[in-house]
Amino acid sequence: MQFLLILIVIIGGMGLSVEAGLLGPLGEQVGHLWATLSIFGVGAALTFLLMLFFSPRNSPSFFEQPSWQLLGGLLGAGYVVILTVVTPAIGIAMTMIGILAGQIGKSVIIDHYGLLGTERRKVDSHRLIAMGFIVLALILIAQG
């Protein structure tokens, strides 16, 4: 089961690379913020349709949840703007490895301290070695 979930996440990551490739040219043609809005508009419409047909009707109210959890929307918008602006300048591979380095670095910190309500997972030598390889990949792709 875990293998299947990891495979799904990898496929999702592949989708992010395609998204970056689409956003760069779109941003240059219509403007970076318009491109960002279009991505969120299409995503919101699709999510609405999925909720309409598949979401449980008796789920807790959205407005009863802690307000700090809504920061994900701000972070998502920032992420998409960054993809739209940076990808044409440095390429998809460099953008994605930079994003990956930031994601993994912050994720290790969040796991280590159990932040945002997550289970604590201590930093160990394996995680540090993995981070080293990601930094090495960032350096190697920058050289290419």
User: What tens digit of pLDDT does each residue of 81-97 get?
Assistant: 999 999 999 999 999 99
- Least confident window among 40-49, 61-70, 116-125, 129-138: 61-70
Compute the average pLDDT of residues 7-12: 91
Which pLDDT value is given to residue 129?
A: 95
Mean pLDDT of 112-134: 94
Specify the number of domains making up the chain: 1
Q: What is the mean pLDDT of the chain?
A: 91
On the CB side of 65, how many CA atoms lie within 13 Å of its CA?
Answer: 8
Q: 6 lies in which domain range?
A: 2-55+71-143
Tokens 């300048």, residue located: 89
Q: What is the pLDDT of residue 137?
A: 92
Q: Is residue 64 part of a domain?
A: no
Asked whether residue 63 is assigned to any structural domain, the reply reads: no
The answer to whether 121 and 111 are in contact (CB under 8 A) is yes
Segment 37-49 mean pLDDT: 93
Residue 104: inside a domain? yes
Residue 39 burial (10 A CB sphere; 0-12, 13-18, 19+): buried
pLDDT of 113 strictly over 90: yes
For the entire predicted model, the pTM comes to 0.80
Q: Is residue 94 part of a domain?
A: yes
Q: At what angle do helices 71-90 and 92-113 cross, to 10 degrees?
A: 150
66 within a domain of the structure (yes/no): no
Mean pLDDT value of segment 14-40? 92
In a domain, 124, yes or no: yes
> How far is residue 133's CA from residue 129's CA, in Å, rounded to a whole number?
6
- Mean pLDDT score, 26-37: 94
Amino acid present at 70: L
pLDDT value at residue 133: 95
Query: Which of 13, 14, 17, 25 lies closest to 89, judged by CA?
Result: 25
Task: Considering only CA atoms, give the Rg of the chain.
Answer: 18
